[in-house]
A and B are shown apart, each in its own frame.
Chain A
Amino acid sequence: MPITVKDFYEAGRETLGLEVESGEDSLDQAIVEWALNRPGLALAGFYHHFAHRRVQLFGLAEYSYLKSLSPSVQTERLEQMFKRRIPAIVITRNRRATPEMRALAMHYRIPVLRTQMITGKFINEATMLITHLTAPSMRVHGTMAEIMGIGVLIEGEPGIGKSETALTLIERGHSLIADDITILRRTSEKVIIASAAEVTRYHMEIRGIGIIHVPSLFGVAAMRREAALDLIVRLQRPTSEIERDRSGLTPQTREVLGIPIPLITLPVAAGRDLAHVVEVAAMNQKLKDLGHDAAKELDEKLMRLLLERKQKL
Chain B
Amino acid sequence: MTDTQSNTGDNGSITREFTVLNKFGIHARPAALFVKTLSRFQSDVTVERDAMVASGKSIMGLLTLEGYQGSVLKITATGPDAADALDAIGELIARKFYED
Tell me, rounded to whole Å, the shortest Cβ–Cβ distance linking B97 to chain A. 12
Which one of B21, B24, B32, B71 has the highest number of Cβ atoms from chain A below 10 Å of its Cβ?
A: B32
Residues of B near A303 (CB, < 8 A) are 24-25, 27
A270 near B: Cβ within 8 Å? no
Please indicate the chain B residues that have their CB under 8 angstroms from the CB of A243 in the complex.
36, 39
Residue pair A310, B66 in contact (C-beta under 8 Å): no
Residues of chain A from 268 to 313 with CB closer than 8 A to chain B in the complex: 295, 298-299, 302-303, 305-313
B63 CB-CB contact with A under 8 Å: yes
Interface status of B52 (Cβ within 8 A of chain A): no
Compute how far the CA of A295 lies from the CA of B69 in the bound complex, rounded to whole angstroms. 21
Q: Give every chain A residue within 8 A of B31 (Cβ-Cβ).
A: 247
A244-B36, A313-B19 given as contacts; is B70 within 8 A of A249 (CB)?
no
Q: How many residues of A contact B (CB 8 A)?
A: 21
- The yes or no answer to A246 lying at the interface (CB within 8 A) is yes
B39 A310 Cβ-Cβ under 8 A: no
Which of B24, B28, B31, B39 has the most A CB atoms < 10 Å from its CB? B28
B45 at the interface (CB under 8 A from A): no
Complexed CA–CA distance, A240 and B66 (Å) = 27
Determine if B28 and A240 form an interchain contact, defined as CB atoms under 8 angstroms apart: no
In the assembled complex, the Cα of A243 lies from the Cα of B59 at a distance in Å of: 12
B35 contacts chain A at the CB level, 8 A cutoff: yes
Interface of B: prevailing SS: loop
Tell me which residues across on chain B come within 8 A of A302, comparing CB atoms: 27-28, 63, 66
> Is A245 engaged at the interface, CB distance under 8 Å to the other chain?
yes
Taken together as a complex, chains A and B put the C-alpha atoms of A306 and B21 apart, in Å, by 12
Q: Is B56 an interface residue (CB 8 A)?
A: no
B69 touches A299 (CB 8 A): no
On whether the beta carbons of B24 and A245 are closer than 8 Å, the reply is no
Chain B residue at smallest Cβ distance from A307: B24
Distance to closest chain B CB from A240 (angstroms): 7
User: What 1/0 flags go to B22-66 for Cβ under 8 Å of A?
Assistant: 011111110110011001100000000000000000010001001
- Residues of chain B within 8 A of A244, CB atoms compared: 36
CB–CB B28/A249 < 8 A: yes
Determine if A295 and B28 form an interchain contact, defined as CB atoms under 8 angstroms apart: yes
Q: List 13 contacting pairs A-B, 8 Å CB cutoff, sorted by A.
A: A246-B35, A247-B32, A249-B29, A295-B28, A305-B68, A306-B27, A307-B24, A309-B25, A309-B66, A311-B71, A312-B70, A313-B21, A313-B69
Q: Which residues of B contact A295 (CB under 8 A)?
A: 28
Contacts of B70 in A (CB 8 A): 310-313
* B40, A240: Cβ atoms closer than 8 Å: yes
Cβ contact of A299, chosen from B23, B27, B67, cutoff 8 A: B27
CB pair A309 B40 closer than 8 Å: no
| Complex CA–CA separation, A56 to B81 (angstroms) | 77
**Docked pose: A299 CA to B28 CA in angstroms:** 6
Q: Which of A295, A307, A308 has the most CB of B within 10 A?
A: A307
Question: How close is B37's CB to chain A, nearest CB, in angstroms?
Answer: 10
Chain A 105-140 interface 0/1 with B at a Cβ cutoff of 8 Å (1 = within): 000000000000000000000000000000000000
CB pair A246 B66 closer than 8 Å: no
Q: Are B23 and A247 in contact (CB under 8 A)?
A: no
Query: Are B68's CB and A246's CB within 8 A?
Result: no
Which chain A positions have C-beta within 8 A of B69?
306, 310-311, 313
Return the 7 tightest CB-CB contacts between A and B, nearest first. Answer: A311-B70, A306-B25, A247-B32, A299-B28, A310-B69, A309-B68, A306-B68
